[in-house]
Amino acid sequence: MTLHSQINSSESSGRLYVVATPIGNLGDITNRAQQVLSDVDWVAAEDTRHSKQLLTALGIKQTLISLHEHNEQARAEQLLQKLQAGEQGALISDAGTPLINDPGYHLVKLLRQHDIAVVPVPGVSAVITALSCAGLPTDRFSYEGFLPAKNSKRLQSLQTLENESRTMVFYESPHRLVDSLKSFLEAFGPDREAFIGRELTKKYEHFLSGNFEEIIGYFADNPDKVRGEFVLIVAGKNVTNETEADTFVDIDKMIEVLLKQQLPVKQISEIVSELTAKKKKSIYQRVLQLKEQ
């Protein structure tokens, strides 16, 4: 690996500005972002039709160049040549901060390898916007983006996160939302706290919090709300000083004995919870795990 050092200065030429744009409310655009988008030689955009509407609404006439997941690697070389020739450009995504689940990684990496200045122009991010009002711990969080589309792969991905102690942030589309919530329920159990931000900063902004069973029930009763863009935030696993093995070593033996008696899961969890003073919800999940083994 080769060390690259970049000190940005207003005098340097051949610069790419990575510009955050609103995720809904046009009023969230910053003065600096507007100025940069007006002054650069061109703007690279994920969807030029969408971005033209944004720039028109801001009163900006600008040359747009498409840069999306299907042409990024080839387009990056072209933009590098423009910047090496002294042009200044900006990179925007359809909404929010570029590169956060959007194209731009290959371009920025290539420019840094060639010592072209890459300048962030910060602003809105759906991840941070949702975290700021979710009411879940934000001192440590993990951004997971979109989950796999297929149910089996989605469940497998979630199962690898079952013991994650940090708050987790996901994006989801409306046509997969309910199936994804069912996968969360299967992977994390009925009691994990979750938060959904829908249509953030837009006219029909909507927040929903509860456990997965409650949230699934809400959307079953309100199918008209399964539309728009979703940010899903899930509480991390509550970790105690005891190791999982220490916590469950004796409990497992109790559960196994009661399972042999073919008692219902709910009854077993009630009995073991009363005998051990452990929370019934965690015992319930452990009974289900052992029953499936």
Condensed to tens digits (0 to 9), the pLDDT of residues 91-140 reads 999 999 999 988 999 999 999 999 999 999 999 999 999 999 999 999 99
Distance, in Å, from the CA atom of 194 to the CA atom of 180, rounded to the nearest integer, reads 13
Instruction: Please say if the pLDDT value at position 196 is more than 70.
Output: yes
pLDDT band at 277 (very low <50, low <70, confident <90, very high): confident
Q: Coil, strand or helix: which one is 157?
A: helix
Question: Hey, which bits of 14-135 come out as E strands?
Answer: 15-19, 42-45, 64-66, 89-92, 117-121
Query: Using CA atoms, how far apart are residues 153 and 146, in angstroms rounded to an integer?
Result: 12
DSSP 186-197: HHH-TT-EEEEE
User: Which has the higher per-residue pLDDT, 158 or 250?
Assistant: 158
The rounded percent of the chain whose pLDDT value lies above 70 is 94
Q: The pTM is what? A: 0.77
pLDDT band at 11 (very low <50, low <70, confident <90, very high): low
Degrees, nearest 5: CA angle 226-231-236: 120
Q: What is the mean pLDDT of residues 141-149?
A: 95
